Amino acid sequence: MVSRMKDSIRRWPITTLSGLLVILFYCIFTIASWILYPDPYGPLTHYLSRLGNYDHSPLGAYFYNVGCILTGLALIPFFLSLRIWYTERKSQVLLLLTGQFFGVLSAGALIMIGIFSEDQGAPHMTASSTFFLLNFIVLILVNLALLWHTKFIKPIALYGIAINFLSLGFEILIGGPIVEWFTVFGALIFVALISMNSLRLSENAR
């Protein structure tokens, strides 16, 4: 049974494997840093990056920042492997390729968030702002490209676009930490959905 499961996992596409690592890395290290945070903490009152602030959580910050770096590293093969969704349409390939390019840049920005923690001020704010801007661009480009693929589950792409514009709307109307939490975990759900759809595509191709 275990051997069969291992063989099955080995046949998973890189998109699925790296997507799973993205979710596990971020969630596990975020939860660990939250547990170690010495004061009351929650999505209504604190931004996620506060977990990586060494002034507020000297031990827990290591977990959050390492988690951001590992998540960013896992995002690189995730975006690069989206090439399995190329079609014969040059315009679709160009759109998805552009989304992949910005996706890799957003992964780099996330790594920088882990390197330049919140207590470092301006470098962290630059990395954070860059990440969320690139994330917005990526979700638009990638989802528009995937809508053209006959094997892609259309509601997933529509979800990704909806999360994007809901985040923008909430930022304008509400603002505050809760919007960041909504954006980040909404994007993680999107990664999970693409990972599952990519697995389905791979299985159908065999």
Instruction: Name the token pair of 4.
Output: 């069969």
In this prediction, residue 35 carries a pLDDT of: 96
Please tell me what DSSP assigns to residue 148. Answer: T
Nearest-angstrom CA–CA distance, 167 and 186 = 9
Whether 4 has a pLDDT exceeding 60, the answer reads: no
- Residue recorded with tokens 């690069």: 80
Whether 8 has a pLDDT exceeding 90, the answer reads: no
In this prediction, residue 2 carries a pLDDT of: 47
In this prediction, residue 126 carries a pLDDT of: 97
Whether 134 has a pLDDT exceeding 90, the answer reads: yes
In this prediction, residue 125 carries a pLDDT of: 95
Whether 140 has a pLDDT exceeding 90, the answer reads: yes
Instruction: For 147-202, write each residue's pLDDT tens digit.
Output: 989 899 999 999 999 999 999 999 999 989 999 999 999 999 999 999 999 999 88
Contact 157, 91 (CB under 8 A): no
Whether 7 has a pLDDT exceeding 60, the answer reads: no
Domain ranges of the chain: 2-205
For the stretch 41-78, what's the b/e string if a residue is b when 16 or more beta carbons lie within 10 angstroms of its beta carbon? Answer: bebeebbbbbbbbeebbeebbbbbbbbbbbbbbbbbbb
DSSP code string of 85-100: G--S-HHHHHHHHHHH
Instruction: Name the token pair of 125.
Output: 């704010």
Nearest CA-CA partner of 136 in 80, 179, 196: 179
Whether 37 has a pLDDT exceeding 50, the answer reads: yes
Whether 6 has a pLDDT exceeding 90, the answer reads: no
Nearest-angstrom CA–CA distance, 13 and 198 = 7
Nearest-angstrom CA–CA distance, 51 and 65 = 8
Instruction: For 79-128, write each residue's pLDDT tens digit.
Output: 999 999 999 999 999 999 999 999 999 999 999 999 999 999 999 999 99
